[in-house]
Amino acid sequence: MIGRKIVNIRYLTKAEMEAEYWEGQEPAVVLVLDDGTLLYPSRDEEGNGPGALFERTKDGESYYVFPGGQNNG
């Protein structure tokens, strides 16, 4: 992943959610890299459900990441 660039930020699609067996849950945010790699959070290392993605600025502010903008966290 080092050296890759984020080219899109979106929610997982219905098909992607189904592939993870996460039907009926709120979709996770996915980072799409320039080589097609998808990065998205899970609530745990076993993949038991989607998780939330947060950012922390260099000034220490925290935000929930979602496509289209920021939401104070």
Looking at residue 69, what is its pLDDT? 56
Look at residue 70 and tell me whether its pLDDT is greater than 80: no
- Structural domain total, the chain: 1
Note the pLDDT of residue 21: 96
Asked if residue 2 has pLDDT above 50, the reply is yes
Does residue 51 sit within a domain?
Answer: yes
How many CB atoms sit inside 10 A of residue 28's CB? Answer: 21
73 inside domain: no
Provide Rg for the chain, Cα atoms.
Answer: 13
Q: Are the beta carbons of 17 and 23 closer than 8 angstroms?
A: yes
* Residue numbers of the domain that contains 11: 6-68
**Nearest C-alpha neighbor of 30 from the set 18, 17, 21:** 17
Residues in Cβ contact with 8 at an 8 Å cutoff, skipping those fewer than 6 apart:
31, 32
Q: pLDDT of 14-48, one tens digit each?
A: 999 999 999 999 999 999 999 999 999 999 999 99
Query: Residue 30: inside a domain, yes or no?
Result: yes
Is residue 21 one of the residues assigned to a domain?
A: yes
